[in-house]
Amino acid sequence: MTWSEIKIHTTNEAIEAVSQIFQEAGASGVVIVDPQDLYKDHVTLYGTIYELDASNYPEDGVYVKSYLPTDDSLAEKVSIIKQSISELPNFNIPIGRNEVTISEVHEEDWSTAWKKYYKPVKVSERITIKPTWEDYQPSPDELIIELDPGMAFGTGTHPTTVLSLQALERFLNPKDLVLDVGSGSGILSIAAAKLDASHVYAFDLDEVAVASTQNNSTLNQTDELITVQKNDLLKNVQHEPDVIVSNILAEIIIQLTEDAFHLLKPDGLFITSGIIQKKKQEVIDDLTEKGFQIIETNELEDWVSIVAQKPSAMKKGRE
């Protein structure tokens, strides 16, 4: 089969939104080509050295790439993608150059392209993300999450995902009940299950995301601990969780806060990510207005995560 690579030259702030637009068009994964990767300590991050060619990277902004079958529907899908991206400034999301490039890639080349950029990455004290085809020997305390870019929405190493994983590792207590809102590839649900959650409910409105979460849960042998459901955010959810985690756009997080506060147990935590710097205060203000106490904020590159707590009349902190 022949595939078409659609490459968007855009901004860091638009990565999540453009990725979502690709998913809605039927793409099963995205590649983020960020020039900042050229300056990272790859030995520490990946445990191995491999060469990155600077000529493959933009001088400014980022490339967001994805792949669609080269068929009769391609032109219509590309048109929809372009139109959707052009509307992002209406939501205060800058799109930068917004240059679109389309090229053909044969299936065997496409598979190789994924693998060239994807190595095991330790994203927290205990959690390492590794591709299914890589040999990796974990330490006794290490938790391994296996992902295949063919079925995920990325490699799980975007700063918003890393911040969410680190927060889950710090704050999730054994036997906590967890809701993952906007599960995407399911990586946060899998992490919660491996961190000894009693059960995880993974919600996403997109059918591709639901299937991806289920597939990756099976791959990681966490099926019994994760229930995957197609659902619009927290609408009609009846569970009373200890933790809600959501790695989505700030605008969507604000739509969630009231339902999250209502559903959480006293002292329950709302872990949010996917927030660009300029939206940080807006989200904090909304959380506090709904009754949450801000426990901590963390930043990685241009992204922010916030851990908020539903207060209890009995005690102020979570043990």
Q: Comparing C-alpha atoms, which of 183, 122, 185, 121 is closest to residue 149?
A: 185
CA distances from 35 to 38, 60, 65, 134, 257 (A): 6, 7, 14, 24, 34
- The whole-angstrom separation of Cα 70 and Cα 109 is 14
- Annotate the chain with three-state secondary structure: CEEEEEEEEECHHHHHHHHHHHHHCCCCCEEEECHHHHHCCHHHHHCCCCCCCHHHCCCCCEEEEEEEECCCCHHHHHHHHHHHHHCHHHHCCCCCCCEEEEEEEEHHHHHHHHHHCCCCEECCCCEEEEECCCCCCCCCCCEEEEECCCCCCCCCCCHHHHHHHHHHHHHCCCCCEEEEECCCCCHHHHHHHHCCCCEEEEEECCHHHHHHHHHHHHHCCCHHHEEEEECCCCCCCCCCCCEEEEECCHHHHHHHHHHHHHHCCCCCEEEEEEEEHHHHHHHHHHHHHCCCEEEEEEEECCEEEEEEECCCCCCCCCC
CA distances from 187 to 23, 31, 67, 211, 245 (A): 16, 16, 21, 13, 11
Cite the annotated binding site for S-adenosyl-L-methionine by residue number.
161, 182, 204, 247
